[in-house]
Amino acid sequence: MAVLWQQHLNRTHYKVTQAGNSLRLYRDGIFHSQFNEQTLVSGAVWDLLLLPAFFLPSQQVRRVLVLGVGGGAVMRMLMHCFPEAEIHGVEKDPVHLDVAQNWFGVQGEKITLHEHCAKQWVEQFSGEPFDVIIDDVFGGLKSDPERAIMVDEDWVALLNNMKRKNGVLAFNFDTTQKAHGSVLSNKSACKRLGLINKKSLTTEGFLNQIVVASEASLNENDFASRLKKIKALNADYRGCRLRHSVWSF
């Protein structure tokens, strides 16, 4: 593994490495992001954060919000799969944003990066709604990342108000237990929010569970058909690295 760049800043150690064709971002030894332009997906948890957008027809994916940019792997995958979409990323760590732009290639006329605390940015937001909102806001704790914002009814309501009708919300949980301990497992709360349809996404080798919620139907057959239209996501093609399971939540 080659170290391409590293920096010590405010007692924090950042490092970008290359393993084969994969770029990786580490912060204080915590593995934050990985992207390989040649294969698009890697069989890791970042792939799961791309997938919620495929519950919508591609022409409906016009505006996407990613809370928690990290190195920008998810944004790069979204850029590839939805080249016409406007993609906004919110990240409070300016070094992560610099890495996303200059090492992971998160740049272009349809890309907007915001250096801000995700919770404060969401609370102050007053613009055009989004079709897809991905909550991947994590902070470091010892050697493992952990969610930085509790997924309670107030937080989900804030995001839901920023979402276009029949769009999707996606939340990354570092364990299944935390997903089921969130408001998304509360049927009455989800009914009040209008988010009556929910799915979860998992992949082997990772504890993470991505919960997708919408007022619209989340049809698994349509979802699978849309994935097959992109070679890197089509399991019928030899060498496809996408490994995921879809569950009712």
The domains located in the chain, with CATH, are: 39-248 (3.40.50.150)
Contacts of 247 (CB under 8 A, 6+ apart): 199, 200, 201, 202
pLDDT at res. 30: 86
Q: Do 153 and 161 form a contact (C-beta atoms < 8 A)?
A: no
Contacts of 139 (CB under 8 A, 6+ apart): 145, 146, 147, 148
pLDDT at res. 58: 96
pLDDT at res. 137: 96
Given the structure tokens 């994969």, which residue do they identify? 22
Mean pLDDT (10-residue bins), the chain, 249 residues: 94 94 92 91 92 98 97 97 98 96 97 97 97 91 76 98 98 96 98 98 95 98 97 91 95
**What is the dihedral sign for C-alpha 115, 116, 119, 122?**
negative
Nearest to 27 by CA among 74, 71, 58: 71
Q: What pairing do the DSSP bridges indicate for beta strands 86-91 and 111-115? A: parallel
pLDDT at res. 32: 87
The CA-to-CA distance between both ends of the chain, in Å, stands at 38
Strands (DSSP E) contained in the chain are 2-9, 12-19, 22-27, 30-35, 63-67, 86-91, 111-115, 130-135, 138-141, 144-147, 163-173, 197-202, 209-214, 245-248
